[in-house]
Structure 1
Amino acid sequence: MRPVSVRYDNSSVRVCMKKKAMCKIGLAVMLLLTPMMGWSAKRLNIVIIVGDDWGGPYASAYTGIYGRNLPSNVVKTPNVDRIAQNGVLFKNAYVNAPSCTPSRSSIFTGRYFFNTGGGAVLGGTWDFTIPSFPLLLLDAGYHIGLTSKGWSPGTPRNAPFGGTAHYYQYFGTSVSSFSKSVTKWTAKGMPFEKAKQTMLDQVRGNFEAFLADRKPDQPFFYWFGPTNTHRTWVKGSGKALWGIEPDSLKDQLPVYLPNNPEVREDMADYLGEIQALDAYIGVLLKKLEEIGELDNTIIVATGDNGPGGFPRGKWNLYDFGVATPLVVWYPHSTGGRVVTDFTTLMDLAPTFLEVAGVAIPPKTDGRSLLNILTSPLSGQVDPQRTFAITGEERHNAKARDDSLPYPARALRTARYLYIRNFAPDRWPMGCPYVAAHVPYVFHDIGEPSPTYDWIITNRSIPSAADYFTWAFAKRPAEELYDAHKDPGQINNVADDPMYADIKKSLAEKLLAELKKAGDPRVIGDGGTFDRPPYTDLKTVACQDTIPLNWAPGSHH
C-alpha cells in the first residue's frame, strides 16, 4: 500500500514535518487513522458526471418538481432518473458561480468561488496553495481519473486534478460534440444508431481504460465531464436525431424566453444534447454493474452552470443561470427521495472527503451532504440548509471598458432571490461591441445562438422589447424577486415598500455571510477583482448602442 498523506497545500504531510512542531501532531493523528483508510476497508468509489452548461435544471426526473411547466416535461433522461430513483434528487441545488472556471474552482476546492484565488475568474490561474479534493483522494490511496472537461479554461489546465497525468481519452473525444459528430457521420451514410453507438463506445472505452489502471480492490474516483451540452450544436438536431418536436415546447418555455419557432427549436436542440449526455451516463452505470461495483459507488450527476446562449442562463444569478440538476445515488440508502435542503456544489468536496475518510482541509466553506444522503427523509432534512449564496466577477476578459468584471452576489431562499449588483453602471452581459469576425454583440454571452440573434434583431419591436431588456440592459444596484409569485424572476420588487423589511433582512444576511466568508468584494476597499491579475485594464471598444443595421451574419 502506498503511504497515506493529506495535501493541504498540494504538497504532502512529509513536507509539513520539516516545518513546525505542530505539524508532528497532525502527522501522528494521520498515522493513527491510516489503518482505517486502507483499501481493505472497502471504501466507496466515487463517480461524478458534470455536464458542461447543463442547467435548468432540465432532466425528466425534475418533471413536476417545481409545480409549473418547464422543458423538463419534454426531455427524456432515463439514466438520470434511475440515479434519482435509487438516491436523492436535490430540488434546491446551485452552482456557486455561473461560469465554467469559477464554478469548477468551487467544486474542486469546496470553497466559495471568491476564495479560490486566480480560479475566481474565467481562464484564471490555479492557486497551488489551495488543496483540491481529487489530489487529496489520490494521497489517500484512491485511483483517480478524468475524461473530457475538468478544470478549464485555466492555467495550467486541469491543475486541481494533477494536470494530464490522470487523463483518459484514448478512445476518442467526439462525445463532447454529439450533434456535430453524429450529423457529419450520418451525412456520409452511417445509420444513426451506429453513429450513436460509436459515441457510446468512446465513453465505455475511456472508462474501461481508467478501470484497467486500477490496482486490485483499490477504491477509485472518476470524473466525466462531456461538453456536448455547451454550444455550439447543430441547428435542428434535437428533432433530427432525437425526435424532439420543437412545438412540444409551446407551453413549456420559461417566461423570459420568446415563445416562437426559432427559440423552441433552439431549446429542442439543447434538450437533444442533454439526452445524449444521459445516454453517456447509462454507459457508466452499465459498466459499474458489470464489474460488480454499482453497489459500492456513490454516483453524482450535475452541471457547472446554466445553459449558454439563452437569456438569464449562463453568467446570470437568476435561477436559470445558477440552479443545477443534482442527483446522487448513495449505496444502500433510501432511494426516490426529493429533498428541499439548499446546497451549492462546493458541498461536494467535503462530502467526497468524508466518504473516503479523509480530513477536510481548513478554510473549506462547503459542508458535507453525507447526513442528507444517508437519511431516510424527504423534504427538509437539515434545518440549517435554508439558503444558497452565489456570485460572479469576470466571465470573458474583454467584455467592458478597462476589462472590468461585473461584480454581483445573490442570496436565494425558499421564497426570495436577492441580488446585489456592486457596479450597476457596468453592462451585465458586456458592453455593446460590434466588430468584424466577432460572432456576438455582448461579449459575456460567450457564444452566439439563434435565441440571442432573434432577440437582438427584433429589439425595436414592442412585443420583443422586454426580452432584450431582461437579457442585456443594465441592472439596478439591488434586485429582489418573490419567486412564489414570480418564478421567472422578471418583476423586481426591490423598490416596492411592501417588501422593504424583507429586502433589508436579506441584504443584511447576505452581507454578513460574505464578510464571515472573507469575500474580497466586501473586505477592505472591495476592489481586489478590479485590479490585476484579475483584469489587465486594457481598453475595450465599447459602444453605447447596437447599429440599427445589425443582423445575424453581419458580424462575421
Structure 2
Amino acid sequence: MMRKFVRNILLVVILTKGFVLFGQGERLGSPNIIIIISDDHTRQAISAYGSTIALTPNIDRIAENGFVFNNAYINNSICGPSRAGLLTGKYSHKNGYKDNENSSYDSNQDQFVNHLQKAGYQTAWIGKYHLGHNPKGFDFWEILPGQGHYYNPDFIQMDGKTIRKEGYVSDLIEDTAEKWISERDKDQPFCLIVGHKATHRTWMPDIQDLRKYDDVVFPIPETFYDSYQGRKAAQVQDMTIRNTMQMSYDLKMYSEDTKDGNITRMNDNQRKDFLGYYNGLKDSLELHKFEGDQLTEWKFQRYMRDYLATATSLDRNIGRLLDYIESEGLKDNTIVIYLSDQGFYLGEHGWFDKRFMYEESFSTPMLMYYPGNQKKGTTQLNQMVMNIDIGPTLLEAAGLKVPSSMQGSSFLPIVEKPNVKGRAALYYHYYENGEHSVSPHFGIKTARFKLIRFYKRVESWELFDLENDPNELNNLYENREYKGTIKLMKRKLKKLLQTYEDEQALEILNRKL
C-alpha cells in the first residue's frame, strides 16, 4: 500500500502552468494535478487578459489569488505538436511530432506523466488528444478521434471500441472528468488532463449559446486590411477571412440538402434548432447581397459571434470543474492551470487560424491558481515562459527529479518569487508546409526583438522591433540601422539552436539566401 502523504494536494493544469506552496513558502508534497487544455482559444478573447470583446468569468476565476502569465508562448503553433511539447517537455525535432500532416507521435517515449505514474500518481487524459489513438502513460483515457465533433461526438475507449455520446462535446468531456475524479483512489494523488475541442474550427456553439453575441458589433482590428508589405511569407498565406473562410463549412450558410457531417450526426431537435438559426441568417444575407469589403466584414462579424459563443460553453464547463473541486473539498489542496494549444487570429492581419511566429499565434493564454498563496488578488507575471516548461514545473512541484533530456525549465521559482527572472529568449520552429500555405520557419524572440527565418515555401528573413512595432508590420531586416541588432540576434539564435540541438535549423541558418 502506498505510504500516506503528509498532505494530499491536487494540481490542476488547464493549458497553463502551476505548482503549490503552503504557509511561509513551504511546498506541499505530491500535489494532485489537473491539466485543462483548450484548442485555439486566444488570450484576446479572455477577460483576465483585458479583453473587452468577451467575458470569461470562470477562466478568470483561476487567476483569483493566483497568476496571469502575460508572456506565455508555444514551441510550435499547431495543436498536435503543441500537445506533444507539453507532454514531453521537448521541442518537435526531439519528440518527433513536427506537424499534423506527416508526423506520428510515439506515446512510448518519456513524458512527464510517466514519472508521476512511477511516483504513485493516478493519471488520465479525457477529451481531445490529437496524438493518435493509443495514449501511453495514463491509467485511464477516453479521447476524441482526431479533431472530434461538437455534437454527439464519438469517443475512443481504452479497449479500442468507439462509442457515440449524445450531447454537446464540452459538456460530455466535463461529465467524464468529474466521474473519473469521483471514482479515483482517494488515497493517491492524481494527474488529470482535460482536453477540450473548443474553440477549434468550425466554431459550432451549443444550442443555448447560439444567440449570445447577436447584438454585438465587434470592432474591426486595426490590421484587418494589412497589405503584408515587406513580409513575403504573409503575402502567400491562405488563411484570410476574405478569401479562405468558407460560407458553408465555416459560417454555416448551408444548402437546403446539406450533407455536412457535423449536421447529419445531430438528432432531430438539435438539427431543427441549429439549422433554424443559421437558415435565418442566410435568408437575411441573401437580401443584403453584400460584396467586397462589406461581405468580408459581414464574414468577420459572423466568425467572431460563432467563435466567442463556442468559447462560452468552454468557460461554463471550466466553471463546473472549479465548482466540483470546491464541492469535493479539494480547492484548498488543488493547483489549477489553464492554457490553450496556441493563440489564434481574431481578424488581426485579416486572418483566422494560427501557425505564424507572430504574437497572436505564438502566444498562449496561461493562468494558474494554487492554494497557500499569501497574496490576495491576481498577480501579473511578465516573465517569458513556454509550454515545454509545464512538465518540468509539475515534476518539481511533486518533488520529483526533472529528466535532463527535457528541454523545458521549471517556472516554479517565478511563482514562488515573482521577481525572479524568466527566460531571456524564446525559440520557435514551425514545420508544416501545406495547410493555409504558411511557410515553415523558425526564430528567436527577446523582450524587444523578434528574428524569423522562413524557408521552403518562402526563403526570407524578418526582424521586428516589438517595442516600436507591436503589430509586427514593419520588417526591418533590410534596414541598415539594424545591422548590429541582426548580427546579435543571429548569434543568440545560433546559441539556442546548438543548445536545443536543432540540426536542421542550424543548417538553414548557415545558408546564404
TM-score normalised by L of structure 2: 0.70
AA in 2 matched with 1:391: H
Q: CA deviation at 1:59?
A: 0.5
Match of residue 353 from structure 1: 395
Q: CA deviation at 1:87?
A: 0.9
Q: What do residues 142-164 of structure 1 show as CA deviations (whole Å, max 9, x unaligned)? A: 111111112x244xx353544xx
Question: Given the alignment, which residue of 319, 322, 327 partners 2:359?
Answer: 319
Aligned ranges for residues 114-193 of structure 1 at < 5 Å?
114-117=93-96, 119-122=97-100, 124-127=103-106, 130-150=109-129, 152-154=130-132, 157-162=133-138, 166-168=140-142, 178=150
Q: CA deviation at 1:55?
A: 2.4
Question: Given the alignment, which residue of 486, 490, 495 partners 2:478?
Answer: 495
Q: CA deviation at 1:395?
A: 5.8
Once residues 478 and 508 of structure 2 are traced to their aligned partners in structure 1, the CA distance between those partners, rounded to angstroms, is: 27
Once residues 129 and 207 of structure 1 are traced to their aligned partners in structure 2, the CA distance between those partners, rounded to angstroms, is: 24
The unaligned stretches of length 5 or more in structure 2 are 4-27, 154-165, 227-240, 243-295
Question: Given the alignment, which residue of 339, 342, 347 partners 1:305?
Answer: 342
1:296 matched to 2:296: no
1:216 matched to 2:186: yes
Match of residue 502 from structure 2: 519
SS of the residue corresponding to residue 229 of structure 1 reads coil
* CA 1:288–1:237: 2 relative to 1, 3 Å: closer
AA in 2 matched with 1:415: R
Higher helix share: 1
SS of the residue corresponding to residue 120 of structure 1 reads coil
Once residues 395 and 166 of structure 1 are traced to their aligned partners in structure 2, the CA distance between those partners, rounded to angstroms, is: 35
SS of the residue corresponding to residue 419 of structure 1 reads strand
Once residues 55 and 212 of structure 2 are traced to their aligned partners in structure 1, the CA distance between those partners, rounded to angstroms, is: 10
SS of the residue corresponding to residue 418 of structure 1 reads strand
* CA 1:521–1:287: 2 relative to 1, 3 Å: same
Aligned ranges for residues 388-427 of structure 1 at < 5 Å?
388-394=426-432, 396=434, 406-423=439-456, 426=457
SS of the residue corresponding to residue 305 of structure 2 reads helix
AA in 2 matched with 1:411: I
* CA 1:410–1:268: 2 relative to 1, 3 Å: farther
* CA 1:73–1:309: 2 relative to 1, 3 Å: closer
Q: CA deviation at 1:43?
A: 2.2
Asked if the contact 2:414/2:422 (under 8 Å) is kept, the reply is no
Once residues 121 and 316 of structure 1 are traced to their aligned partners in structure 2, the CA distance between those partners, rounded to angstroms, is: 13
Asked if the contact 2:173/2:196 (under 8 Å) is kept, the reply is no
Once residues 111 and 410 of structure 1 are traced to their aligned partners in structure 2, the CA distance between those partners, rounded to angstroms, is: 16
CA RMSD of aligned residues (A): 3.3
Once residues 126 and 481 of structure 1 are traced to their aligned partners in structure 2, the CA distance between those partners, rounded to angstroms, is: 34
* CA 1:126–1:248: 2 relative to 1, 3 Å: closer
Q: CA deviation at 1:252?
A: 7.5
* CA 1:120–1:238: 2 relative to 1, 3 Å: farther
SS of the residue corresponding to residue 327 of structure 1 reads strand
1:510 matched to 2:460: no
Once residues 469 and 71 of structure 2 are traced to their aligned partners in structure 1, the CA distance between those partners, rounded to angstroms, is: 17
Q: CA deviation at 1:348?
A: 0.2
* CA 1:308–1:177: 2 relative to 1, 3 Å: farther
Match of residue 379 from structure 2: 337
TM-score normalised by L of structure 1: 0.65
Asked if the contact 2:384/2:424 (under 8 Å) is kept, the reply is yes
AA in 1 matched with 2:445: R
* CA 1:176–1:277: 2 relative to 1, 3 Å: farther
* CA 1:284–1:238: 2 relative to 1, 3 Å: closer
Match of residue 62 from structure 2: 83
Point out which structure has higher relative CO (alpha carbons under 8 A, 6+ apart). Answer: 2
* CA 1:414–1:308: 2 relative to 1, 3 Å: closer
Asked if the contact 1:392/1:407 (under 8 Å) is kept, the reply is yes
Aligned ranges for residues 63-82 of structure 1 at < 5 Å?
63=50, 72-82=51-61
SS of the residue corresponding to residue 126 of structure 2 reads strand
Asked if the contact 1:408/1:419 (under 8 Å) is kept, the reply is yes
Q: CA deviation at 1:216?
A: 2.5
AA in 2 matched with 1:484: E
Once residues 181 and 307 of structure 1 are traced to their aligned partners in structure 2, the CA distance between those partners, rounded to angstroms, is: 26
AA in 2 matched with 1:122: N
Asked if the contact 2:335/2:371 (under 8 Å) is kept, the reply is yes
Once residues 298 and 359 of structure 1 are traced to their aligned partners in structure 2, the CA distance between those partners, rounded to angstroms, is: 19
Once residues 344 and 207 of structure 2 are traced to their aligned partners in structure 1, the CA distance between those partners, rounded to angstroms, is: 17
Once residues 225 and 395 of structure 1 are traced to their aligned partners in structure 2, the CA distance between those partners, rounded to angstroms, is: 26
AA in 2 matched with 1:167: W
* CA 1:43–1:241: 2 relative to 1, 3 Å: farther
Match of residue 263 from structure 2: none
Q: What do residues 112-165 of structure 1 show as CA deviations (whole Å, max 9, x unaligned)? A: 222112x22225223456310112211211111111112x244xx353544xx5
Once residues 48 and 483 of structure 1 are traced to their aligned partners in structure 2, the CA distance between those partners, rounded to angstroms, is: 31
AA in 1 matched with 2:193: W
* CA 1:525–1:493: 2 relative to 1, 3 Å: closer
1:267 matched to 2:254: no
Asked if the contact 2:99/2:431 (under 8 Å) is kept, the reply is yes
Once residues 74 and 368 of structure 2 are traced to their aligned partners in structure 1, the CA distance between those partners, rounded to angstroms, is: 15
